[in-house]
């Protein structure tokens, strides 16, 4: 009896290590059909399959960007889509050294008796789906648990439920060959200060790793996708260095060194903020036994989407923006970002209250 040592153990460790390569990160392009519909609506593009296919082809064929991404998270539909030329996206990405991942949760549901707290569903039939996704070429998975900070939140119930849900998902993935990205997102909504966010993050992560141990999850074959530790959206801002210190300290206190990589979510941060904060963490001179990198959705795509606007002739310039953001974040993982990718639009906050996707 120990951590998972089944037939996929070595492959899981190799994949997880690759996904933690310094200088690279993950492009989160796993918006569900409904969510991508919301994005398209903001640029007046119809939410039909051909548009979804066109948009993702834009992302995955952007020239010279594969060097910045060790992985891309996909939604189920996208996993099976192809380029207009007929090449499966998974194959295209693989050729560029980009591993395909797959979102496997089925969204959140409210926990009765709480003040709007949720748990995440998706365990039913998960093993079978993982096997199918593995067949289709996916090698990692993602499951988003959501917690919020309030006067009495997160409650012990919410913490336990979400931690258990993540751990159960994680072991099922590993048994079926997929590296699980463990994502316990604590929403930025609220007016709490950064200290409070640190307390809650530490509490939640400690519970998560306890649950992962209970379920015999092989930590060397996982990644963590946490929020950065920041003040609430309605609280006064602090500098990237302060964010970096509180974030790294919270991780030092809770994430075992066996985990190869921590890939932050961007939450509601603007594209530039997300890069600058990641850079500050990597520039911090302290103990960091795991790689600190990115798994950004909005913070990589917002300007790309706007520039594209659904128009074919905008594709090259939109792709150029992906290159710029990809490069900036790649430098940030090495603590070497100089701020030269900042431009109009990239400082726009992407915060959406009570974000659901």
Partner 1 sequence: MAAMACSSVMELGSVTCQTVGNASTSGAGRSENAAMTRSVFLGSSSLGFYKTAAALVSTPQSRKNSQNVEYQRRQVVMTSDFEKTNPYAEELKRTAAYIAAPGKGILASDESNATTGKRLATVGLDNTEENRQAWRELLYTAPGLGNYISGCIMFEETLFQSTRDGKQFVDVLKGQGIVPGIKVDTGLQPIDGTDGETATQGLDGLGERCRRYYQQGARFAKWRAVIKVDAEKHPSSTAIIENAHGLARYAQICQANGLVPIVEPEVTLGDGDYSIERTAYISERVNSHVFRFLNEYNVILEGILLKPNMILPGLDVPTPAPEEVAKYTVRTMLRSIPAAVPGIHFLSGGMSEEEATLNLNALQAYGPTPWSLTFSYGRALQSSTLKIWSGKEENWNAAQERLVALAKANSEAQLGKYTGPHPSPGGTRILQQLRLGGAGK
Single out the segment in contact with partner 1 by CB under 8 A; choices: 73-81, 207-215, 310-318, 337-345: 207-215
The token pair at 249 is 């300290």
| Complex with partner 1: residue 251 or 274, whichever CB lies closer | 251
* Binding residues for partner 1 restricted to 99-158, rule: CB under 8 A: 151-152
What tokens were used for 18? 């690759």
Least distance (Å) between residue 262 CB and partner 1: 12
CA pair distance 76, 118, nearest whole angstrom: 23
234 binds partner 1 (CB under 8 A): no
The residue among 19 and 212 lying less far from partner 1, judged by its C-beta, is 212
7 included as an active-site residue: no
> How far is the C-alpha of 94 from the C-alpha of 82, rounded, in Å?
13
Q: Which of 348, 352, 248 is nearest to 305 (CA)?
A: 348
Q: Among this protein's residues, is 272 annotated catalytic?
A: no
From the list 24, 142, 225, 245, the catalytic residue is 225
Q: What is the nearest approach in angstroms of partner 1 to the Cβ of residue 70?
A: 21
By the rule CB under 8 A, 256 interacts with partner 1: yes
| 249 is a contact residue toward partner 1 (CB under 8 A) | yes
44 Ramachandran zone, left/alpha/beta (phi>0; psi -120 to 50): left
Which residue lies nearer to partner 1 by CB, 100 or 333? 333
Decide: is 236 part of the binding site for partner 1 (CB under 8 A).
no
Whether the CB-CB separation of 275 and 325 falls below 8 Å is answered with yes
Q: Out of 255, 276, 305, 332, point to the residue binding partner 1 (CB under 8 A).
A: 255
157 phi, psi to nearest 5 deg: -60, -50
Q: Which of 195, 237, 336, 353 binds partner 1 (CB under 8 A)?
A: 195
Pick the catalytic residue from 31, 183, 202, 272.
183
d(CA 297, CA 265): 8
Segment near partner 1 (CB under 8 A); pick from 42-50, 279-287, 304-312, 332-340: 279-287
Residue 200 makes contact with partner 1 by CB under 8 A? yes
Answer yes or no whether residue 289 interacts with partner 1 by CB under 8 A. yes
Phi, psi of 4 (to 5 degrees): -50, 125
The 3-state DSSP class for residue 316 equals helix
Residues facing residue 179 across a β-bridge: 140
As measured in angstroms, the least distance from the Cβ of 171 to partner 1 is 15
Chain centroid offset of residue 260 CA? 15
Interface with partner 1 (CB under 8 A), residue from 114, 227, 254, 307 = 254
Residue with tokens 């710029």: 324
The burial class, CB within 10 Å (0-12 / 13-18 / 19+), for 338 is exposed
How far apart are the C-alpha atoms of 69 and 241, rounded to whole Å? 25
Size of the site for partner 1 (CB under 8 A): 35
Cis peptide before 192 (omega within 30 of 0): no
Shorter beta-carbon distance to partner 1: residue 21 or 35: 21
Output 70 or 217, the one with its CB closest to partner 1: 217
Cβ atoms within 10 A of the Cβ of 355, count?
A: 16
265 binds partner 1, rule: CB under 8 A: no
Separation CA 334–CA 21 (nearest Å): 10
288 near partner 1, rule: CB under 8 A: yes
- Closer residue to partner 1 (CB): 195 or 353: 195
214 sits near partner 1 (criterion: CB under 8 A): yes
Interaction site with partner 1 (CB under 8 A):
1-3, 151-152, 195, 198-200, 202-203, 206-207, 209-210, 213-214, 219-220, 245, 249, 251-258, 284-289
Q: Which residues are catalytic?
A: 183, 225
């Amino acid at each position: 009896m120990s951590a998972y040592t089944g037939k996929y153990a070595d492959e899981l460790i190799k994949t997880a290590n690759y996904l933690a390569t310094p200088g690279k990160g993950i492009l989160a392009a796993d918006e569900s059909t409904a969510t991508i519909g919301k994005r398209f609506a903001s640029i007046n593009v119809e939410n039909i399959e051909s548009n979804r296919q066109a948009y993702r082809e834009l992302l995955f064929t952007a020239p010279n960007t594969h060097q910045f991404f060790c992985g891309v998270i996909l939604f189920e539909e996208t996993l099976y889509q192809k380029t207009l030329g007929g090449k499966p996206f998974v194959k295209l990405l693989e050729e560029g050294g980009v591993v395909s991942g797959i979102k496997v949760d089925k969204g959140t549901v409210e926990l009765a008796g709480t003040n709007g707290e949720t748990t995440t569903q998706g365990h039913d039939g998960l093993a079978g789906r993982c096997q199918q996704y593995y067949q289709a070429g996916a090698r990692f998975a993602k499951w988003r648990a959501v917690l919020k900070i309030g006067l009495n939140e997160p409650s012990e119930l919410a913490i336990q439920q979400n931690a258990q849900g993540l751990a159960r998902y994680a072991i099922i993935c590993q048994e079926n060959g997929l590296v699980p990205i463990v994502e316990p997102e604590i929403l930025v909504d609220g007016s709490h200060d950064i200290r409070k966010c640190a307390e809650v993050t530490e509490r939640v992560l400690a519970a998560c790793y306890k649950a992962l141990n209970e379920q015999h999850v092989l930590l060397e074959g996982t990644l963590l996708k946490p929020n950065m530790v920041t003040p609430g959206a309605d609280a006064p801002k602090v500098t990237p260095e302060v964010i970096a210190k509180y974030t790294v300290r919270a991780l030092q206190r809770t994430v075992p060194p066996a985990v190869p990589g921590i890939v932050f979510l961007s939450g509601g941060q603007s594209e530039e903020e997300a890069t600058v904060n990641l850079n500050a963490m990597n520039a911090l001179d302290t103990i960091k036994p795991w790689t600190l990198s990115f798994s950004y959705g909005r913070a990589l795509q917002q300007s790309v989407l706007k520039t594209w606007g659904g128009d074919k002739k905008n594709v090259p310039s939109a792709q150029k923006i992906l290159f710029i953001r990809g490069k900036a974040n790649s430098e940030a993982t090495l603590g070497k970002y100089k701020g030269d990718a900042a431009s109009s639009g990239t400082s726009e906050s992407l915060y959406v209250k009570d974000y659901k996707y």
